Structure 1
Amino acid sequence: MTQIPLINGQRHSWSSIEVNVLDRIVTGVTAISYDDSQVKENHYGSGDMPVFRGRGKYEAKASMTLYNYEVEAIQQALPKGKRLQDIPIFDVKVSFLDDASSDVVTHVIRNCEFKTNKRDMKQGDTKIEVQLDLIVSHIEWN
């Protein structure tokens, strides 16, 4: 496939990312991290080369960092006495625009729940960011 050269050298960038949590676009997200892996091992028989490959469990991980005002807004929407960790299972959609083709790419982090709710602030900070770890079932890569 022939690709058109990029005029400004840009493809996907942070400025084209849109994060949707609990059916709402989150503008105060400063980082999102997600990955998946699967255990794979070579198994040996006679000789020194593997005779087959075994596959084990699949695991997905995710976390996001939000400005404190976003986290506080989510907490304010909860019934009194509920915590972030009490929010029922939800999906997180991460979409970004391919500037070269105008195609929107969407990854869906499935069956998320918040595992943590922690604040970490220090003298000299000009903003409060909150890193929230998630438990997830799997990731759909577009």
Structure 2
Amino acid sequence: MQPVSMLLNILWILCGGAYMAFGWLIAAVVMAITVIGLPWARAAFNIAAYTLLPFGSRAVRRDELTGMDDVGTGLLGFIGNIVWFLLAGWWLALGHLITAVVLAVTIIGIPFAWAHLKLAGLALWPIGKTIVPA
């Protein structure tokens, strides 16, 4: 990890990254406990780690990365994203949005607010995405 990314990640944890990563972790655990939610639990665990340390990584569509369609990028992925949105996506996105608004009030918080807005979009539609180094 680059020194700048490391510094930004430390500041990020202090500016809302820790509790939002905890929110993603709670969503992942709830999905895993329900057994029916197991397909969504893995994505939520991966994004929880990404939410904790987002600088130096980015979320991309798997079909754009590999050049091939898979289950998560096709029709089943679309249906999975709709189910995810109804079960957990909207409240995770709302948490990121509220945190972004609070951070945007301060000058130093604007870059972190922008990162929270990106994560809010990911919270709405995470299936079919993967986390890669930037």
What TM-score, normalized by structure 2, do the two folds share? 0.24
Q: Indicate the structure with greater strand content.
A: 1
What TM-score, normalized by structure 1, do the two folds share? 0.23
Q: Indicate the structure with greater helix content.
A: 2
Larger RCO (CA within 8 A; separation ≥ 6): 2
Structure having the higher Rg: 1
